[in-house]
Structure 1
Amino acid sequence: MGKQPYRLSEFIIVLDEKANKSNKFCVCQECVFGSSFDEAYNDKFANTQELVHQHLKNCIYFKQKNSESEQAEILAKSNKEVLATNNSLYENRYLLWPLEEDQQKNFEQLLLKATVSCGWAFSWIENPEVKALFEFLFPLVKLPSRKLLSGQILAEYAKNTTESIKETAQNETNGVTLAYDGWKNIKKESIFGSVLITSIGNILVWSAENISNECTRWPDVQRQTENMLDDLKKIK
């Protein structure tokens, strides 16, 4: 679970670097926001309550943000008071820490959803301005490469989505309705797409096949439909 939060923990960002056997290095959050992560990193220190207290007493950015009375009150607060007044902050503090493995995976899937939803090319993730924006907002977040986003992350998300759709359709006790349509994509390819409609009207995107090399007369459509029905029966 890691080291428990203590008085003044909200003012630091803990790094994944060992300072000694008991503590990791940390940087001052006020220094990060007031200047840059690199400058704050040059002044990193061990994550102990005493060192955080000492740093904040001399931190120009902490002083700029808080009046003298506020500084005194913050530095004098007890563990109990800090935890009681900042519970909501701690629930979301992972954004200022290196992400855990499951959090990183969720972050990458959100990036993928945003990419698809906005119709962006996968190259946007490697744009220098995008990298600068994320570094400013969350200095410790790790952006995936374009190759990773369009490859492994996309494939894993597609697999999970397909399994979820399949499970939903299989659990539909009243059966599902198969509906389909055809169109041409931006490559002028003929696409034969299908969806499953549940008894309560939920639409599940099922498949999209390139039939550019096939005829599209009604016997061909009938054959495609029969093949789809056979595939659906096989997976119940």
Structure 2
Amino acid sequence: MTKVMERQDKSKSSKKRKYSEGQSNMDDYHDLTELNEQRCKRTNRALVKFFIACGIAFRIVEHPFFINFIKELNAGYNTPTREVLVNQLLERELAQVNFKVNSELEKEMNLMLAFDGWMSGTHRSIWNFIVMISLRKEYLYQLFDLSKNSHTAEYLVTVIEKVIEGIGED
């Protein structure tokens, strides 16, 4: 009888151990499965926002150390190429932001246009046009490189009129 009990004890120790509900497993720390389409879209959108907000060069997305870092976070996520990041994801994000800003501006009755010009580090004459709404929110509406034109009052009036037309006079 003792031999039978010993054999049962040995067979139990060679089986895989089950873990309890409170116990962690390796999948809790590392995702290996490929992301579904919706999660991939959310991740790509967060990635393009990160690059824009932090002023990171888009070529970094193809750097081996960056790819390795992303793979450590989630091996199932494949980083987009620089071309996809710039030509598709950035353009899509820009379209969504522009749509959101324009729809908010359409709801407003009283808008204020502010503008300013400066010389960039590459000696370009850059002018920005900011629209402010009644809730004191500010939106960067447009940026222009006006380097090729003389900054006469007449010329600036035509530029401002074009911006106002774009926003809508009403």
Give the TM-score of the pair, scaled to structure 2.
0.78
Structure with greater contact order relative to length (CA < 8 Å, sep ≥ 6): 2
| 1:182 paired to 2:87 | no
Equivalent residue in structure 2 for 1:205, among 112, 135, 140: 140
| 1:159 paired to 2:119 | no
Amino acid at match of 1:144: P
| 1:194 paired to 2:100 | no
1:115-194 to structure 2, matched below 5 A, reads: 115-172=51-108, 174-194=109-129
Q: Distance in 1 between matches of 2:55 and 2:64?
A: 19
1:38-187 to structure 2, matched below 5 A, reads: 57=16, 74=19, 77=20, 82=21, 96=31, 97-172=33-108, 174-187=109-122
Q: Which residue of 1 aligns with 2:9?
A: none
Q: Kindly, what percent of the aligned residue pairs are identical?
A: 19
Q: How far does the alpha carbon of each residue in 1:42-68 deviate from its partner, in whole angstroms, 9 at most, with x for none?
A: xxxxxxxxxxxxxx92xxxxxxxxxxx
Deviation, 1:178, is 0.8
Using a 3 Å threshold, how does the CA distance of structure 1 residues 186 and 148 change in structure 2: closer, same or farther?
Answer: farther
Tell me the C-alpha RMSD between the 2 structures: 2.4
Moved over 3 A (4+): none
Deviation, 1:179, is 0.8
Q: Distance in 2 between matches of 1:221 and 1:126?
A: 41
Deviation, 1:213, is 1.2
Deviation, 1:102, is 2.0
**Structure number with larger C-alpha Rg:** 2
Give 3-state SS (helix, strand or coil) of 1:180's partner. Answer: strand
Give the TM-score of the pair, scaled to structure 1.
0.58
Aligned positions, number:
151
Deviation, 1:163, is 0.8
Q: Which residue of 2 aligns with 1:52?
A: none
Deviation, 1:98, is 2.1
Deviation, 1:184, is 2.4
Q: Distance in 2 between matches of 1:204 and 1:121?
A: 24
